[in-house]
């Protein structure tokens, strides 16, 4: 929704333009000001997209206003209302992009057309704006960050969506083929005594290893390096060139020695230039992308079975072999659960919970116990933060796994508790929305004689204007402007049925300083003038 500000020191012109545009379905949030200084107040309080202003006004005139507009809201379109004697001012104004002018004698249809053209220009500028160009220039830098975040998401448990994997790779500029299996290598850093050991230095060193390895691996191998959640380097690798044309056995026979040798060079370079030692665990065969998280887990676990301290070692292992029967620790797997719960993503939470609990019975009693209490602590922590304990039944059972006759029953209880928390969150959001709209309605009823613009109401309720407009329509079923008009009509009818106020005073009580504006407003709504309504009510 665009916001249009009408500015003229003649109230009759301002009100007339306001009422004319309000009667058109142009998707505008309308504001009005009776002086240049009042208009500056609007420009400092909220975003303004179109300004319809007189060019000659006492104090701050239209040209001075234009300077402030271009400084604060450079995308704003300006439509000047001018007289025949304003040629010099008009000539100065039209040298500025995004400015139109109209003669005051041209009438409302021309104004409506000019506003429509300004809206069209805004729509076009948002589609081809400078922001898009700037974003494209930054893409190379952001791409590196986005790739790492994307693969950390996959490494630590998220399942890749195979149909869209190619699209993801294309958008992120990932130099790997989603249709071919991939090799993996993991690194573990040991800083030398002379190297700094702060978090920032360690991250910088780890990223240096990643980039150095990619340079040395370039050629026969396509590679992508990143840091995992622990700050350790991880590389995904695919043969390229002639190595990619042979069978799997031939490919492995060629690529594994090459990778071992190149990682030895990486280790040497790191020791010489980065003052750190790097141990590398290299998978000896490729795996499908759907097994990325599983292969990462198994390689990481096998790092703990190496011989000696592993310094400067390149260990080649089978990423499909199980060095232990259990999957990753429940705590690692539950991080995503906690994120889904905090964000209110019900479907994602329940789907992941079902995946975790449905595949765990073969992992032994101690593992099941750990998984149950890990998930219980996530739910309990959420309830404590939002003070929901009194609204959830059976909270004490979260810490009593032995109360259940089977792990299936225990996990079913956790699922039911999670569903209750999501329902409480949803009902709380609905209740808060209803209460906010009741506050706005009460404010409107108490301030019908004041400015009830969307911006002012949004400031009162501490929402942004666009959100308040959408929420009001969603909760009440009518547009905010329609509600205000209806409230003003009802109050005006009530006051007109009495005899103690003149029609002019009734208009002021419902927000219309000018009697002509009140009469037009009232007659448009009811088909009779205020005086005619009063006389009919008396009869």
pLDDT bucket at 356, cuts 50 / 70 / 90 = confident
Residues 132-136 have a mean pLDDT of: 49
- For 249-265, what is each residue's pLDDT tens digit? 777 777 888 888 888 87
Q: Is the pLDDT of residue 510 over 70?
A: yes
- Are 277 and 198 found together in one domain? yes
pLDDT > 90: percent of the chain: 40
Q: Is the pLDDT of residue 31 over 90?
A: yes
- For 56-93, what is each residue's pLDDT tens digit? 899 998 889 998 888 778 789 999 988 766 666 666 66
Question: 336 lies in a domain?
Answer: no
Question: 337 lies in a domain?
Answer: no
- Are 460 and 526 found together in one domain? yes
Lowest mean pLDDT among 61-75, 76-90, 204-218, 456-470: 76-90
What pLDDT score does 268 carry? 80
pLDDT bucket at 333, cuts 50 / 70 / 90 = low
- For 375-427, what is each residue's pLDDT tens digit? 999 999 999 998 898 999 889 999 999 999 999 999 999 999 999 999 999 99
Select from 300, 317, 334 the last residue of a domain. 317
Q: What proportions of the chain, in percent to the nearest 5, are helix, strand and coil?
A: 60, 10, 25
Select from 367, 398, 418 the last residue of a domain. 418
Question: 430 lies in a domain?
Answer: no
What pLDDT score does 304 carry? 64
Question: 400 lies in a domain?
Answer: yes
Lowest mean pLDDT among 15-24, 85-94, 136-145, 447-456: 136-145
Select from 317, 338, 367 the last residue of a domain. 317
Local structure of 7: helix, strand or coil: strand
**In the numeric block, which tokens belong to residue 482?**
């329609």
- Are 240 and 368 found together in one domain? no
Q: How many domains does the chain have?
A: 4
What pLDDT score does 65 carry? 92
- Are 151 and 299 found together in one domain? yes
Question: 427 lies in a domain?
Answer: no
- Are 147 and 285 found together in one domain? yes
Distance CA(393)–CA(23), nearest Å, equals 53
CATH number of the CATH domain containing 106:
3.40.50.2300
pLDDT bucket at 332, cuts 50 / 70 / 90 = low
Q: Specify the higher pLDDT residue, 197 or 210.
A: 210
- Are 157 and 254 found together in one domain? yes
- Residue that the structure tokens 């073969």 belong to: 362
Q: Is the pLDDT of residue 192 over 70?
A: no
- Are 455 and 513 found together in one domain? yes
Tallying the residues shown for the chain, one arrives at: 539
What is the chain's mean pLDDT, rounded? Answer: 84
CATH number of the CATH domain containing 530:
1.10.10.60
Residues 486-492 have a mean pLDDT of: 95
- Are 216 and 358 found together in one domain? no
Q: Which helix (H) or strand (E) holds 238?
A: strand 233-239
Show the domain range for 468: 447-538
pLDDT bucket at 329, cuts 50 / 70 / 90 = low
CATH number of the CATH domain containing 154:
3.30.70.270
Question: 135 lies in a domain?
Answer: no
Question: 499 lies in a domain?
Answer: yes
- Are 277 and 148 found together in one domain? yes
Q: Is the pLDDT of residue 441 over 70?
A: yes
- For 164-182, what is each residue's pLDDT tens digit? 888 989 888 888 999 999 9
pLDDT > 70: percent of the chain: 86
Paired strand residues for 337 = none
pTM, rounded to two decimals: 0.63
Question: 434 lies in a domain?
Answer: no
- For 299-314, what is each residue's pLDDT tens digit? 888 776 665 555 678 8
Does the CA dihedral 116-117-120-125 come out positive or negative? Answer: negative
Lowest mean pLDDT among 168-172, 265-269, 343-347: 265-269
- Are 148 and 41 found together in one domain? no
- Are 489 and 352 found together in one domain? no
Q: Is 270 exposed, middle or buried (0-12, 13-18, 19+ CB in 10 A)?
A: buried
- Are 40 and 107 found together in one domain? yes
Distance CA(339)–CA(341), nearest Å, equals 5
Phi first, then psi: give them for residue 508, nearest 5 degrees.
-65, -40
């Amino acid at each position: 929704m665009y916001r249009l500000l009408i500015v003229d020191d003649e109230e009759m012109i301002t009100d007339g333009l306001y009422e004319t545009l309000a009667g058109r379905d142009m998707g505008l949030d309308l504001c009005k000001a009776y002086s240049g200084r009042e208009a500056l107040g609007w420009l400092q309080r909220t975003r303004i997209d179109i300004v319809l202003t007189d060019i000659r006004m006492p104090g701050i005139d239209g040209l001075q206003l234009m300077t402030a507009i271009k400084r604060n809201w450079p995308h704003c379109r300006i439509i000047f209302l001018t007289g025949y004697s304003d040629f010099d001012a008009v000539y100065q104004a039209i040298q500025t992009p995004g400015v139109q002018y109209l003669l005051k004698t041209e009438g409302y249809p021309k104004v409506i057309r000019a506003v429509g053209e300004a809206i069209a220009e805004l729509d076009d500028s948002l589609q081809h704006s400078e922001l898009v160009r700037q974003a494209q220039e930054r893409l190379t830098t952001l791409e590196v960050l986005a790739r790492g975040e994307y693969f950390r998401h996959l490494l630590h448990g998220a399942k890749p969506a195979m149909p869209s994997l190619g699209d993801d790779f294309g958008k992120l500029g990932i130099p790997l083929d989603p249709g071919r299996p991939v090799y993996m290598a993991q690194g573990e850093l040991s800083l030398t005594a002379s190297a700094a050991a702060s978090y920032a230095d360690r991250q910088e060193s780890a990223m240096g290893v990643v980039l150095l390895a990619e340079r040395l691996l370039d050629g026969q191998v396509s590679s992508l390096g990143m840091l995992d959640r622990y700050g350790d380097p991880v590389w995904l690798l695919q043969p390229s060139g002639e190595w990619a044309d042979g069978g799997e056995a031939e490919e492995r026979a060629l690529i594994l020695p090459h990778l071992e040798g190149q990682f030895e060079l990486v280790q040497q370079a790191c020791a010489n230039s980065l003052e750190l030692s790097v141990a590398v665990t290299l998978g000896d065969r490729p795996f499908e992308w759907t097994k990325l998280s599983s292969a990462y887990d198994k390689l990481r676990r096998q790092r703990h079975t190496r011989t000696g301290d592993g310094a400067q070692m390149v260990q080649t292992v089978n990423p499909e072999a199980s060095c232990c029967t259990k999957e990753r620790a429940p705590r690692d797997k539950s991080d995503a659960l906690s994120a889904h719960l905090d964000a209110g993503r019900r479907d994602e939470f329940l789907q992941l919970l079902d995946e975790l609990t449905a595949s765990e019975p073969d992992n032994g009693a101690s593992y099941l116990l750990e998984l149950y209490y890990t998930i219980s602590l996530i739910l309990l922590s959420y309830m404590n933060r939002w003070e929901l304990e009194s609204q959830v039944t059976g909270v004490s059972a979260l810490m009593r796994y032995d109360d259940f006759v089977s792990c299936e029953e225990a996990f079913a209880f956790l699922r039911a508790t999670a569903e209750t928390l999501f329902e409480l969150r949803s009902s709380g959001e609905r209740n808060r929305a209803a209460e906010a709209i009741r506050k706005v309605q009460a404010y409107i009823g108490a301030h019908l004689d004041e400015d009830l613009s969307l911006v002012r109401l949004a400031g009162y309720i501490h929402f942004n204007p666009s959100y308040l407009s959408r929420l009001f329509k969603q909760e009440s079923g009518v547009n905010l402007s329609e509600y205000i008009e209806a409230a003003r009509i009802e109050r005006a009818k009530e006051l007109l049925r009495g005899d103690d106020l003149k029609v002019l005073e009734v208009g002021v009580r419902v927000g219309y300083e000018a009697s002509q504006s009140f009469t037009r407003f009232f007659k448009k709504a009811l088909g009779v003038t205020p005086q005619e309504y009063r006389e009919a009510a008396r009869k």
